[in-house]
């Protein structure tokens, strides 16, 4: 996602007097005002943590990161384990739990699935507002006895994904996972409220080819790119093969076999 938010009017709100100090802290960290005229979005701080709320008559509900309850909990308990397509795509197998860099982390849903399966995850989300939601969600999840061991395998990095990959220090990730924002069609991409919310803030990932190139240069074993099922491949080297589901597919760029 783009590093800087699009030209949107965003303010930070405390959902109660007790949350005003924390709201001020987030406002300072993100260089956002606490109050503006005619805001389009509000980054809200309350009992359920940090959430992003689009404002207006027909706006969807707030978006927050929750690894403890809701969809994340259901998938953790009933999601199919290592038989899930994303697990097969990154190379999870008997005795194999690769170290994965999710360079387009978003709200961390895919990263959480892989961490649940035992993968050590590094996460990069370069859009500061989305990164703040993810940071807050990880912090709250770390307080839950069941989920804390999972999120302990998720390490959030801050900065531009391409630059961080190009200047990577230490042992490279075995697998790099990319899910770049795809230029949308009204019928498909605006269904989920997250997409409705994120589109005006982050736009499309027009530098996806550079993202792929940086990933291919860094990953030691493979790169995996998630795409809409009928979308073209990212410009650049072609994947050797892919896994296709009902609405999405995983393009796989192997470099070396993953072994137990």
Give binding residues for S-adenosyl-L-methionine as ranges. 125-126, 179
- Rounding to the nearest 10 degrees, give the CA dihedral for residues 46, 1, 3, 155: 60
- What is the b/e burial string over 209-244, where b = at least 16 CB atoms within 10 angstroms of the residue's CB? ebbbbbbbebbebbbbbbbeeeeeebeeeebeebee
The Cα 151–Cα 46 span in angstroms is 22
The Cα 115–Cα 228 span in angstroms is 23
Q: Which residues contact 40 (CB under 8 A, 6 or more apart)?
A: 8, 9, 10, 54, 55, 56, 200
The Cα 254–Cα 221 span in angstroms is 6
Strands 10-14 and 41-46: parallel
Q: Is 178 exposed, middle or buried (0-12, 13-18, 19+ CB in 10 A)?
A: buried
Query: Which residues carry a binding-site annotation?
Result: 125-126, 179
The Cα 195–Cα 219 span in angstroms is 28
């Amino acid at each position: 996602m783009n590093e800087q938010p699009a030209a949107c009017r965003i303010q930070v709100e405390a959902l109660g007097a007790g949350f005003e100090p924390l709201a001020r802290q987030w406002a300072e960290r993100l260089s956002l005002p606490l109050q503006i005229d005619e805001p389009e979005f509000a980054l809200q701080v309350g009992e359920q943590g940090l959430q992003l709320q689009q404002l207006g008559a027909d706006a969807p509900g707030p978006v927050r990161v929750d690894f403890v309850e809701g969809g994340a909990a259901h998938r953790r308990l009933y999601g199919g384990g290592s038989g899930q397509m994303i697990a097969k795509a990154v190379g999870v197998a008997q005795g194999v739990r690769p170290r994965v860099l999710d360079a387009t982390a978003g709200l961390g849903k895919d990263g959480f699935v892989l961490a649940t399966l035992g993968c050590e995850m590094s996460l990069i989300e370069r859009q500061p507002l989305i990164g703040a939601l993810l940071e807050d969600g990880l912090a709250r999840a770390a307080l839950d006895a069941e989920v804390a061991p999972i999120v302990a395998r998720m390490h959030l990095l801050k900065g531009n994904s391409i630059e961080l990959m190009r200047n990577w220090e230490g042992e490279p990730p075995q697998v790099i996972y990319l899910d770049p924002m795809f230029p949308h069609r009204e019928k498909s991409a605006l269904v989920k409220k997250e997409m409705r919310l994120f589109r005006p803030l982050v736009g499309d990932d027009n530098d996806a080819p550079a993202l792929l190139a940086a990933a291919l240069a860094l990953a030691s074993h493979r790169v995996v790119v998630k795409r809409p099922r009928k979308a073209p491949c990212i410009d650049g080297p072609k994947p050797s093969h892919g896994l296709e589901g009902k609405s999405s597919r995983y393009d796989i760029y192997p470099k070396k076999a993953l072994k137990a």
